[in-house]
Structure formats: C-alpha cells, structure tokens
Structure 1
Amino acid sequence: MIFPERFSNLPAYAFPRLRALLDHLEPGGPVVHMTIGEPKHAFPDWVTDEIVAHSATFNRYPPNEGAPELLAAIAEWIERRYEVRVDAGTQVMALNGTREGLYNAAMALCPETKNGAQPLILTPNPFYQVYAVAAQAVGAEALFVPATEESGHLPNFSKLSKAQLERVAIAYICSPANPQGAVADRAYWTHLIGLAEKYDFKIFADECYSEIYRGEAPTGALQVATEMGADPDRVLIFHSLSKRSNLAGLRSGFVAGGAESIRRIKQLRSYSGAPLPLPLQMASVKVWQDEAHVIENRRLYSEKFDLADEIFADIDGYQSPDAGFFLWLPVDDGEEAAIKLWTETGVRVLPGAYLSRDVDGLNPGKGYIRAALVAPKSEVAEALTKLRSCIYGQA
C-alpha cells in the first residue's frame, strides 16, 4: 500500500508516545491522569434535554456551514464577548471541533506559492500538533517559532527576517497558550496584526481556552484587528464549547473572520466537511447563549490554580499561568520526570517535548512537563502534592 510521502516523517502523536513510554511500567500508586486536556467538570443538565428535544432532526442532513439559529447565536456571543459585530450568514461557520477547522482553513486559504517561493506557515513551539500537519498537507514549510520563558511563553515573531516574513502565508497563534497558559495582550496582537498587514499574511487565532482565565478576560485577535481597521480577512478566530462548557464530546465549535475567507472555507467544506448533527447544533445554540455555567466553570479552575500556587509557591522556576487549565512545570528532563512520577506515585503527566519539535538541536519543551488540572479539586491537591515531593524533593 502506498502512502503520501509528505506524511511519512510525521512523529508519533503525543499520547501514543506517552503510552509507549509508560504503559510497560507499573504505576507506583493510585493512578491519576493529568495528561490530556479533557474537562471533567459537569456540563449543564439541560444540554441533554436540548438534544433529545431536537432528536427528530437526526434524519436530516445538517447544513455544512451551520444552522442559521446556531450562526446567529455565535455572532451574538462574539459581539457580547469582544464588542465586534460579524454577519452571521457570511462571517461565521460552525465546526465539528476546532481541530477540523484549524486544519481545513489552511487547506482552503494557503496559496501554493508566496512571492514566488514555497509559503511559510508559522507555528509556536510548543504547539497544538494540527498546525504542523496542516502545513505539510498544503505543501508549505512549517517554521517553528520558539515560545519560551524568555519570550513570555509566546512566539516572538519580531525575530523573523524580512526574507522569511515575505514568504509567510499563515501564522498560527494560540492564546491563551497551550501548554503554558500565557495570554497575548493588546500590544502583542497589535504588533502581530501589523506584521500581517505589512507582509500580507493571515492569522489563525486559536482561542479555544479564552473563557478559562484568572482576572481579566483575554483580549481577542478579531477585537484588536477590528479596532485597528485591519483587512477584514486578515484574522480568523477559532473557538469551541469543549473547554468553555466542558462539552468536548459535543464537537461543537466555530470559525469567524472576513467574508471572503469564510466563503472559501465553506466552499471546500461543501465537498469534504463533516457537519455537526442538527440536534447537537440546536443544543449548541443554547450553550452559546448561557454564561452562568461558564462563570462557575471558571471559578472551579481558579480554585485549583490557587491551590497549585500554594503548593509550588517556593519552587524555583514555577510560573502561575494566566489562563487555560494546564501547569507547565520546569524539570531537568520531561521524559525522565514523567517516568519517575509514574513509577513512584501513579501520577501521569505529559513530557513537554511531546508538544514541541527539535529546531537546531533544541526542543523548547524538553525541560518541562504538562499537568492538566481537570480532575476534582481534592484529587488535584493530592496529585500535585505527590508531584512536588517526587520531582522537587520537597514535602
């Protein structure tokens, strides 16, 4: 059987790598999973009722771009959240989860060449792995821009050369960042959007953690682009209900941006998309309209972050994240730390190198582990206490 050569060198995905690293080893205590960002808080009780109420529409093909009711609810949410008006019919499209959207947007919008050369797609390093495979799929070169402590755990695009910037077609940026929890502020967005305007590239803003924050709500990319009067097609934002509403299994998200970009994404999706079933779309309408459960969700995560701050307060290099629900903890070697923690305590975390790529012999995630604070507070408290004792040698 012949497979596309362009995918032949893909590294193993993070979680199969983790299973290969740990599954043959016995856990050293009761197993606590802190690896995957799968929310465990309760979603609203009425979600299931909404699905059942619309279950008769399971026998209908759902509209590829999203039901009008859902697109309207999303547009209204964008205006409430970011004070930006978008046209529901032309500037919003429903997604079957943001990963699908982040991949297919590159398929629809990345040109074959940029200024006569192979296009570049910028991605933070560490990063959500779909960014890199999207670049490979469209024949672009993925340029991994370090997002390290020195750069505030966000990629420093100002260090790119003029020759590189002239080849950029798309810049992926995740804010709040996975895995570090760093948030791009207004100045950061202004600078990046200014570069995109000057060198004519698009920004794909992965904002799926935007509603899990401490303190002030993160500034949005579309919000700043609108204030700047940037080209309406300059920025596309990607959101979902997975983290915001603890509905990872609903697979409900959206992309919003300029009308021409959304038109092209819709056109490709009509051939290759997998739209969300109508009962799930109708449930999503009500979820986007409700904020009470989001506020409660945020409160629960804030309690766990306060707990982490207390446990790791005097650990050298510990940085309390501004948003998201991960801890990005410094260690000597992420794989060694994950093995030690698993075999001595049963706590399972993800080596940071599995979320990064080697560039010039360096992997910016190698000296970290990622721990997801998705379990109940009491379980998180016990696991983090074990982690501190095991990895940092302090009870």
Structure 2
Amino acid sequence: MGFHAYESPYDWGRIAAYKTTAKAAPGGMVDLSVGSPADPVPASVRQALADAADAPNAYGYPATAGTADLRRAIDEWFRDQRGVDLKSVNAGVTPTVGSKEAVALMASLLHLGPGDVVVQPRVSYPTYEIGTQLAGASVLKVDDVADVESWANVPNVKAVWVNSPCNPTGAVISADWLADIVAAARRVGAVVLSDECYALMDWRSGASCAPCALNAQVCEGSASNVLVLYSLSKQSNMAGYRTAFIAGDYQLVGEMAEYRKQIGQIIPGPVQAAMAAGLRDADAVRAQRQRYAARLRMLTEALRSRGYDAAMPQGALYVWVKALSGDCWADMAALAELGIVASPGEFYGAPEHLRFSATATDEAIADACARLTR
C-alpha cells in the first residue's frame, strides 16, 4: 500500500520569516530552534572514523546488524551507563541511520495499519505522530502516558510511545511509573516504544541517567514487548554521523533487522567504528554533559529575568516555557526583533509554549542571554 499521508504540522520552513528578521537584528541571529549540536566531535570518534576509512567494512558492504565490535560496544554501554544487562533480559540490538528514521518507520516495521491505535504523549516529538500516520494507524494522544487508565481500556492499542527525558518538556518518568506502563502495555498486547535519546542528560539532583525501560526491575526481567531507542547525536555531537540503535524484544528487533537489510537501511562501515568509539568514550560524554548543564542554567536564568516562567528541566536539552503573549508565534516575532529564534510550541502540540535549545555554542548562548536581560 505504500506510505499513507501525514498531517502533523512540523515544517521548519515556517520559521524562515522569523530567521530573516533575526538576521537583521544588531549582532545578527542566535538560533536556539532546531537543536542541532554545535560542539566538536570527540577526538576518539574522529580517529576511529579515519582508521576504518579503508577497512573491509568500508570497501565491502557493511553488516546491517552492525559489526561484532559495535554490538559489544552497545552491550557495554547499556551495562556501564544504564545498569542494564541486555543478555539477561533477552534483548537484541540493531543500529539505525539516526533515531528519526527509526521513530518514523517504527509503526510500519511493527506492521501496524488501519484500525490499530498508537498511544503517545499529547506534547511530544512530532515524528511519533507522523510515523503512525505514515503506517495508516490511528494516533491517541494522552496528557500523561504514565496514567495507564487513559489508554489501557481503549480497543486495539498496539503500541505506546514513551519519551523520558522528554523533548520538549524535559520531564523524566520514574522507574516505578515506567514499570506500570510496561505492565499495562503487556496486558493489552501492546509494544512499549521507549525513546531514551536524552537518557544521559538527566539534571535531577543525584541522578546520572534517566530510568531505562529495559532495566530488569522495570521490565520484570524480560525485554518482551519493549523497544528502546537511543542516539549519539547529542551525547557525542554526532548528529551528522546518523548513529543510533534499537534495543529490546529479541524477536521484534530481529524482524526489523531483516526488513532493514532488504531496504538498505545500513550505517556505513567506517561510521559503525566511529559509533563504537563514541559509546566507549565516557569522558567525552561527561564533558559534553557539563557543557549542556551550564548552558541550560544560563538560559533558564535569562529567560526568567525576561519574565518567562522558566525552570531548569528535569532532563533533555531544552527550556520549555509558556509564551508571554499566550501564543508561540507572537512571542517568536518579538524574540526575532532581538535576533533570537526559538522553536514554536505548536510543533510539539502546545501552541501556547516555546522551546529554547541549549545545543548552541557557549558564545551563542551567552549572547542570547545578554539580549534577553537588556
């Protein structure tokens, strides 16, 4: 049948006029909208890429399921950074060409279609909804996915999107609530799709990372009906490398890997080597985490001084605030006069909000803060 039409309003071209205004402001534009990393790629990653540039996995066809070394690196990363033993919960892994394509194709790879229902947070990353629409399935938006009563009795629920820490709000779901979601999904035969791309960007006091859906206590010792998505785009500034993976239910991941093989969704061989290096370079990830934390604190303080009800997020890389005017587009226009471009909350299902990204450089963040506090 091919892809179905999608209707979600996620067109970055809609902010072009605001960028034009911002570029004309004194000092030019400070872009805090898309969230594209601006810091250097770790030296270990660049060296691994260069070393693998003429390896057999470069001049020959690379493995769809990833090299043995990459798969070991993913196993090690889950064990060392997330406290998860993939083998003990019978979880499989497959690398993906960035996390966005994995999100957009997820409903289709699960064979969902007309009559099937996919649950997602009302305020969330737009590609969840777009991917469901592409498959021809129906979207059910709920205020809080952890409120399982809001969806567990709805007929034909086949999948449940979880995003913790959340883009755009930064909210983190506790391990207990995550366990409730997994249990409720299994009762109705649905798959939990846990987008944990910001897992290591947890700013709660005493926390080093957000809870994982594959933690043995959360999933009751089994990866059945649970899929976790992760990306190196933010933790290692590798957005342009397109390095991400799916981990979870062994049978589901295996089927997805076979489909990916047939349609050529394969990470290039040298990039697989770079991805393994990025997963193992914990020092570089910690340094990047510290940069983001400092930028978020600066942005939060500056926005608060401007009159926004801003607070340090629980997690992720964005400051999520209510528009001073009550309408994101009106605030976008006012901020553009200062040379600042944010993301309109309408893209995420909340037109009365704005999202400010902390992925710009230290200099750009400091410049934006200075303009906000004039």
TM over 0.5, shorter chain: yes
Gaps of 5+ in 2: none
Cα separation, 1, equivalents of 2:111 and 2:53: 38
Name the amino acid aligned to 1:318.
A
Q: Deviations over 1:49-83 (max 9, x none)?
A: 21121111332111111111101110111111222
- Deviation of residue 385 (structure 1)? 3.8
Residue 192 (structure 1) aligned with residue 181 (structure 2)? yes
Name the count of aligned residue pairs.
365
Measure, in 1, the Cα distance between the counterparts of 2:363 and 2:272: 34
2:72 is the alignment partner of 1:72 = yes
Aligned to 1:62: 62
SS of the equivalent of 1:6 reads coil
Change (3 A) 1:341 1:65: same
Match of 1:36 in 2: 34
Deviation at 1:104, TM superposition (A): 2.8
The residue that corresponds to 2:246 in the other structure is 255
Match of 1:203 in 2: 192
- 2:233 counterpart SS class: helix
Distance 1:370 1:339 in 2: 14
- 1:220 Cα deviation after fit: 2.9
Q: Is the Cα contact below 8 Å between 2:41 and 2:238 reproduced in 1?
A: yes
Contact 2:146 2:180 in 1 (8 A): no
Structure 1: how far apart are the matches of 2:109 and 2:308?
45
Instruction: Report deviation, 1:129.
Output: 2.1
Q: Which of residues 349, 359, 364 in structure 2 aligns to 1:374?
A: 359
Aligned residue for 1:221, secondary structure, equals: coil
- Measured after TM superposition, the shift of residue 12 of structure 1 is 4.8
Q: Which runs of 5+ in 1 are unaligned?
A: 147-153, 357-364, 390-394
Distance 1:40 1:26, change over 3 A: closer
CA contact (8 A) 2:344 2:355 kept: yes
Q: Which residue of 1 aligns with 2:47?
A: 49
Inter-CA distance 286–206: structure 2 relative to 1 (3 Å threshold): same
Quote the residue 2:150 is aligned against. Answer: 160
Find the counterpart in structure 1 of residue 84 from structure 2: 84
Provide closer, same or farther for how the CA distance between residues 5 and 291 of structure 1 changes in structure 2, counting only shifts above 3 A.
closer
The answer to whether the 8 A contact 1:190-1:224 is kept is no
Distance in 1 (CA, whole Å) between partners of 2:238 and 2:94 is 19
Cα deviations by residue, 1:176-225 (Å, 9 ceiling, x for unpaired): 10011111111221221121122221111111111222241233333445
What is residue 392 of structure 1 aligned with on the other side?
Answer: none
Change over 3 Å in CA distance of 1:133–1:227 after alignment to 2: closer
Give TM-score, length-normalised by structure 1: 0.85
How big is each residue's C-alpha offset from its partner over 1:245-288, in whole Å with a ceiling of 9 and x where there is no partner?
Answer: 11111111111001111111112112114211111101211111
Match of residue 121 from structure 2:
124
Q: State the AA in 1 paired with 2:330.
A: E
CA contact (8 A) 1:123 1:131 kept: yes
Partner of 1:297: 288
Distance in 2 of aligned mates of 1:155 and 1:366 = 20
C-alpha contact (below 8 Å) 2:82/2:212 kept by paired residues: no
Q: Which residue does 2:160 correspond to in 1?
A: 171
User: With structure 2 as the length reference, what TM-score do the two structures score?
Assistant: 0.89
Who is 1:287 aligned against?
Answer: 278
CA deviations 1:368-391 (Å, max 9, x no partner) are: 11111122223212313423x5xx
Counterparts in 2 of 1:285 and 1:223: CA distance versus 1, 3 Å: same
The corresponding residue for 2:320 is 328
**Alpha-carbon distance between aligned partners in 1 of 2:237 and 2:61, rounded to the nearest angstrom:** 26
Match in the other structure for 1:350: 343
Aligned-pair Cα RMSD in Å: 2.5
Distance between the aligned counterparts of 1:83 and 1:218, measured in 2?
A: 10
Note the 1:269-288 alignment, pairs <5 A: 269-288=260-279
Percentage of identical aligned residues: 22
Q: Distance in 1 between matches of 2:335 and 2:308?
A: 19
Is the counterpart of residue 14 in structure 1 residue 11 in structure 2?
Answer: yes
